[in-house]
Amino acid sequence: MTLELSITDGLMLLSAGCLAGVANAIAGGGTFISFPVFLWLGLPPVVANASNAVAVWPGHALATWGYRHDLRLNRGPLKLAGVAAGVGGALGAYLLSTIGNAAFVKLIPFLLLAATLVFAMGPKLNRHIATREDPSVGAGVLVGIFVFSVYGGFFGAGLGIMLMAGLLILGVRDAHQNNALKNLLATVVTSVGVLVLALSGLVDWPATLCAFAGAVLGGLIGARVAKFLSPQWLRACVMVLGFTLTAHYGYKYNFSA
């Protein structure tokens, strides 16, 4: 299905993509902003999710480029973590490409709720993990990153918070390095996911490219301001939006007649 976009639709997608790109670069949660717009415009749920995944890809990717100097300081755990992230992201995207709209639409409220709860508990969880001593790159950590990445390839909201927690377990304590590595792993997950989804034919390209252009701009802005702007206010907004969307889609898809 391909939408016939009006100028207003295009501008709405452009704006949503820009906001999502900024959010993903700073604290995550861009999907909460952009995904509902794709649904609101009338795309089938699976197509909306696949198109959104492609559209918000630049947020993490460009933020990774902005953190390239930080990434040079901590390369140790990246190889195994990157493999786990790539395989998990590909599997998640494949699962999305095989699920039908009828099944996926029932999952939307639960996926949004899970992502919102991760956002709500993220700072506390990260502080708890940061107090642990002698972190190591164990099999359990890599399995966790793999599971998070499967989720990220399938849906994506809250992936950044999950990866930040995993990196703390790996021993990345510095906030800027953690954010840099989080963006890199998220880029791996979304890149392989985007490739799988693009090849599956599920992407509505006109709508996606409008949001994609906005996400490019948002990613560039986010990479520049992330080191200077506290993410707390953005996290609070994302949580309110996440719970609101959970209630809305829960009623619409699971409880309404």
Assess whether pLDDT exceeds 80 at residue 15: yes
Give me the number of domains the chain comprises: 1
pLDDT tens digits for range 112-133: 888 778 767 766 665 665 555 5
Q: For position 196, what pLDDT does the model report?
A: 92
Residue 2 domain flag: no
pLDDT tens digits for range 170-200: 666 666 777 777 888 888 898 998 899 889 8
Assess whether pLDDT exceeds 90 at residue 88: yes
State mean pLDDT over 75-82: 70
Residue 156 lies in domain? 7-255
Give Cα 215 to chain centroid, integer Å. Answer: 12
pTM over 0.85: no
Q: How confident is the model at residue 215 (pLDDT cuts 50, 70, 90)?
A: confident
- Specify whether the CB–CB gap between 67 and 175 falls below 8 A: no
Residue 1 domain flag: no
Widest pairwise Cα distance in the chain: 56
Assess whether pLDDT exceeds 90 at residue 137: no
Q: For position 123, what pLDDT does the model report?
A: 61
* DSSP summary character for residue 251: I
- Specify whether the CB–CB gap between 243 and 116 falls below 8 A: yes
Residue 207 domain flag: yes
- Specify whether the CB–CB gap between 29 and 158 falls below 8 A: yes
Residue 244 domain flag: yes
Residue 60, both tokens:
């993490």
